[in-house]
Structure 1
Amino acid sequence: MRRGLDHVVHLVRDLDAAGEVYDLLGFTVGARNRHPWGTENRIVQTPGFFIELLQVAEPEKIPPDEGTRFSFGAFNQRFLESCGQGLSMLALEGSDPQAEKAVFDIENFGGFDTFEFGRTARRPDGQEVEVGFTLAFARDPLSPDFSLFTCTQKLPENFWSADLQRHSNQVTGVAGVVLVADTPALHKAFLETVTGCGVLRASDDWYVSQTPRGAVDVMTRPLFTERYGVPAPGGEGLRLAAVRFGTPGAPELRRSLAARRMVEETIAGVVVVPPKAAMGATLVFEVTEG
């Protein structure tokens, strides 16, 4: 089963401040939501893909990892302590969590129970609705600071909102995500297993998987910095470094962000918002036709 991009987790220390940053970037940001295990989030939607802005709000409520239970909150708490703010987790679209878990287990990239939960969400008109998700976790043994899971929605009609997908920056959707690693080839088998797609070698420093929704690029840290002009996150194994968006409004966005000193000016054809301006994440806007 080929799996497209579903969302990324952008872990921050101050959820309201993160909402302000994304608002300045021209995104429509959803209301605050609460998880029963001590984290809170706000959602930035594009068609079929979203950014989950996440804050560890009540650390005393976070359950520890225990046996085959993967603790979403505990992973992000550890990530914040060891890596700081930034892109902590990647989610792929799920359809059959038990089957996905079985594949991950067989290939020795799993070993975790699936996790099912629900919460209340608030629509732009103020209406409260229920949403629900089932997650199947995978891990790359070589990458302690990277987590991946599939996300299957039980009530997608309550989650997705056309109003939340209208952005003043004119973003039309996700183009892809960029991972970094010292040796990309070491992670090829993991990425092929979790995406269900082939991973092609662009060069010794760069591998690409084209999923049904967006590309997954994995490149060395020097190549990432050469390509985007910003520092790559450090650490061992894979790290989630950037999210790429398509927008016909990239030139106007560049001028707006340059006036606020929120954009790198050295990359031709794209707008790169560096980690220092986006709370540890690199956000890339690429010109597309309207």
Structure 2
Amino acid sequence: MVRGLDHVVVAVKDLDAAGRAYSELGFTVTPENRHPWGTANRLIQFDGFFIELLSVADANLIAEPAGKQFSFGAFNRDFLACGEGASMLVLESKGASEDREAFLKSGLDVYEPFSFERTAHLRDGSTTSVAFDLTILNNPLSPQIGYFTCFNKYPENFWKPDFQTHSNGARAVQTVYMLAEDPSDHHEFLGAFTGQREMRATSLGLELETPRGKVFVLSPAGYRSLLGEAAANAVAGDLPILAALEIECEGLNTTRIVPANELFGLTIVLTPAKERT
């Protein structure tokens, strides 16, 4: 099974400031939600994909990792100690046990099962419950990036049309851009993670199509060539990193690129919507 893009986690130090910045770009941003392990988030929902803006709300609640027990809070706390930006790449799941079996069969390093439930705050002030099963992987080639699949137990409580309506016309994810010194180093892990064994190698990098968006692993030269000087000059930190996210927008006439140094460590590319057949 080939897994589509589900969301990216964007670790930020000031959740309210990040929410305002994305709102000013024309995105609808959800109210704040809290995790039991000390982090808080605000979401930007599209058609089956979302951006999770995440910050540390109460460091005292964060548990340290132990063996194969992954600590979501500690991972993002430690990421923020080095800078802001996209800390985790997340794919859709049809079932956590199936994902786990497939990953182990492919020889991937899998953490212990991770499930949780939290309260979701809706636009009208009411609340509901959402719950998820995460299957989390360790990739020694990019330990500073978190990878997991996310099985949504109550999708009817999570996805809301009023959260998916944006004044800038944003409707769907197109591409997650990963930046690496040698993109070919990552073909084996990403092929097993996505389930997409057919990928396209070009002079720019490595391209993987999924049922919802694509993953494009670019060299620094390829990234500069494709996204331009402003985006390339905004890259910070050791490679590999999740450098940019491309979102399709209805009614947009020309591509707009907001570089990472102006938007909490992640470059956002807004592109005109393609006609659907």
- Same-fold status (TM-score > 0.5): yes
**1:60 corresponds to which residue?**
60
- The 8 Å contact of residues 109 and 141 in structure 1, kept in 2 or not, is answered as no
Find out whether 1:37 has 2:37 as its counterpart: yes
Mapping for residues 20-35 of structure 1, pairs under 5 Å? 20-35=20-35
Instruction: Provide the secondary structure at the position in 2 that maps to 1:165.
Output: coil
Instruction: Provide the secondary structure at the position in 2 that maps to 1:132.
Output: strand
Residue by residue over 1:99-133, the C-alpha shift from the partner in whole angstroms, topping out at 9 and shown as x without a partner, is 21222223332231110000001122222100000
> CA–CA distance in 2 between the matches of 1:202 and 1:234?
25
> CA–CA distance in 2 between the matches of 1:223 and 1:3?
25
**1:170 corresponds to which residue?**
169
Mapping for residues 9-28 of structure 1, pairs under 5 Å? 9-28=9-28
- The 8 Å contact of residues 110 and 138 in structure 1, kept in 2 or not, is answered as yes
> CA–CA distance in 2 between the matches of 1:139 and 1:109?
8
**2:197 corresponds to which residue?**
198
Distance 1:214 1:289, change over 3 A: closer
Distance 1:278 1:64, change over 3 A: same
Instruction: Provide the secondary structure at the position in 1 that maps to 2:184.
Output: helix
**Alpha-carbon distance, 1:135 to partner:** 0.2
The alignment of Structure 1 onto Structure 2 pairs a total of residues equal to 271
Mapping for residues 1-290 of structure 1, pairs under 5 Å? 1-82=1-82, 84-229=83-228, 230-231=231-232, 232-236=235-239, 238-251=240-253, 269-289=254-274
Distance 1:199 1:146, change over 3 A: farther
- The 8 Å contact of residues 87 and 240 in structure 1, kept in 2 or not, is answered as yes
Give the counterpart letter for 1:127 in structure 2.
S
Moved more, 207-216 or 102-111: 102-111
Residue by residue over 1:151-209, the C-alpha shift from the partner in whole angstroms, topping out at 9 and shown as x without a partner, is 00110000000000000000121112111111111110111101111342332441111
> CA–CA distance in 2 between the matches of 1:247 and 1:152?
27
Moved more, 39-48 or 73-82: 73-82
> CA–CA distance in 1 between the matches of 2:187 and 2:39?
32
> CA–CA distance in 2 between the matches of 1:289 and 1:211?
17
Give the counterpart letter for 2:258 in structure 1.
V
**Alpha-carbon distance, 1:233 to partner:** 4.0
Give the counterpart letter for 2:259 in structure 1.
P
Give the counterpart letter for 2:2 in structure 1.
R
- The 8 Å contact of residues 34 and 40 in structure 1, kept in 2 or not, is answered as yes
Give the counterpart letter for 1:197 in structure 2.
Q
> CA–CA distance in 1 between the matches of 2:198 and 2:22?
31
Give the counterpart letter for 2:110 in structure 1.
G
Moved over 3 A (4+): none
Residue by residue over 1:38-84, the C-alpha shift from the partner in whole angstroms, topping out at 9 and shown as x without a partner, is 100001000100000000111121111111111111111111112x0
> CA–CA distance in 2 between the matches of 1:169 and 1:48?
18
Q: Please, what is the CA RMSD of the aligned residues? A: 1.4
Instruction: Provide the secondary structure at the position in 2 that maps to 1:16.
Output: helix
> CA–CA distance in 1 between the matches of 2:166 and 2:192?
34
> CA–CA distance in 2 between the matches of 1:105 and 1:40?
31
> CA–CA distance in 2 between the matches of 1:147 and 1:25?
26
- The 8 Å contact of residues 110 and 135 in structure 2, kept in 1 or not, is answered as no
> CA–CA distance in 2 between the matches of 1:63 and 1:90?
21
- The 8 Å contact of residues 38 and 62 in structure 1, kept in 2 or not, is answered as yes
Instruction: Provide the secondary structure at the position in 1 that maps to 2:170.
Output: coil
Instruction: Provide the secondary structure at the position in 2 that maps to 1:164.
Output: coil
